[in-house]
Each structure stands twice: as C-alpha cells, then as structure tokens.
Structure 1
C-alpha cells in the first residue's frame, strides 16, 4: 500500500514514521485530544503501538491517519 502525501500551502500530511513517536506522545498526553479518542496514552511504547495501528488501517482499508507537519517550521 502506498500511503499518499498531501501538501497544502501551510501543511504536509505524510505517512507516519518511527520518528513521530515524540510528537504523537505529546498529542496523546493532551487531555483535550485524548477525551475525543478514548483516553490518554502517554508511554512511548504504547504510542508506538497506536502508530502501528494507524498504519495498519491504511493496509487493511486503504484509508487512515497521517502525520501533520507545518511546512514553515517542520513541527
């Protein structure tokens, strides 16, 4: 499965990578985010498994989440 990369004037939506663990850990630890997706996941190993599940969605269904990166800052 080839996961597409989408680019706008402000953002890059790209496939999830191993290097995204720190950013995903910060997002999943945010109570406002976590309350919409089933609760906080804060340990890096657990976040890595969440990321693997996201990639599995692409492989199993052809759709799934991306990593979102600001073009100007790279954050």
Structure 2
C-alpha cells in the first residue's frame, strides 16, 4: 500500500515479498554499522518485516519501503515506529539505504516525507530530534547544518 511519494521515491508498506531485496541491503556491514540489530541475514530480515507489519496493524505507522520511481528498485526503508526508551514508549525515526544510494539526498528526502505524512495523518502530535555526536559526525552535520535546518523549518511550518 502506498503511503506517500516524493520527487524520486514511492513510500509504501513493506511486505514479505521484499525479503530478498531488503536482505541484500541489511546484510551489508557498512549499511548496518550503526544499527542496534546488526547485520541481518534472510531470517532476521523476515523477522524485521514481520515486526514492521505488526507496527502497521497496531499503530498504523512503522518503517516504510523506499522505492525508486524511475527503476522500481527497493532503495531501503524509512519510518517512525514506537520504541521503548527507559520504560517509556517513544516514537523513533530510523532509516537504512542501500550503499549505492548514499550521497544523493534520499535520506533527507525520505525523512521529510515520512515526518510530514505522520504529522498530517495525526500519527505524531510533535517530534524531537536527538543525535549523538557520533551520528553528527557520520552525517557531517557540522559542515552541513542545512539538513537539520531544512527539516526543522519545514516542520515548524506544518505545525
């Protein structure tokens, strides 16, 4: 089921049909370097997609598939889902992109679309951003504050 789209991406629900393609992405150690789950084989990827399907059923939200419009290829996933943090359920945002799509602006494009959709669908009443210094370095945000500024300004306008 399609959730929304951007200029270059169709954002839709993940399905068990995505297991082979998503396994190729999630089995890459570089893609999964900062993941709490670690590298995923086919079984772990299937469990992840089943977990996503449970999130959709329970909360109407979760990690969504990112599909390149031009090719129809699965690029990765991006989405908001409930996570337990210190005994409190919080909404967390996560994404993973196949390495060949890095550096093209697809992460920020998908994050903006996912947040915009969640706020418009009333799945989120507010949002906050917490990045570790390691993540700031990874995203090179010290030199590119435009990424954060554009997300923050776009969503201040939505609220």
TM-score of the superposed pair, with normalisation by structure 2 = 0.41
Q: Which residue of 2 aligns with 1:14?
A: 12
Structure 1 residues without counterparts, runs of 5 or longer: none
- C-alpha change, 1:4 and 1:73, in structure 2 (3 Å) is closer
Structure 2 residues without counterparts, runs of 5 or longer: 74-159
- Structure (1 or 2) with the larger CA radius of gyration: 2
1:16-48 per-position Cα deviation (integer Å, ceiling 9, x unaligned): 112101111011111122122221011x22211
Distance 1:70 1:56 in 2: 25
Q: Which residue of 1 aligns with 2:53?
A: 55
Q: Which residue of 2 aligns with 1:41?
A: 40
- Report the number of matched residues: 72
Deviation at 1:4, TM superposition (A): 5.4
Task: Give the secondary-structure state (helix, strand or coil) at the position aligned to 2:18.
Answer: helix
More strand per residue: 1 or 2?
2
TM-score of the superposed pair, with normalisation by structure 1 = 0.81
Q: Which residue of 2 aligns with 1:74?
A: 72
Distance 1:19 1:60 in 2: 21
* Runs of 4+, deviation exceeding 6 Å: none
Q: CA RMSD in A?
A: 1.6
Q: Which has the higher contact order (CA 8 A, sep 6+)?
A: 1
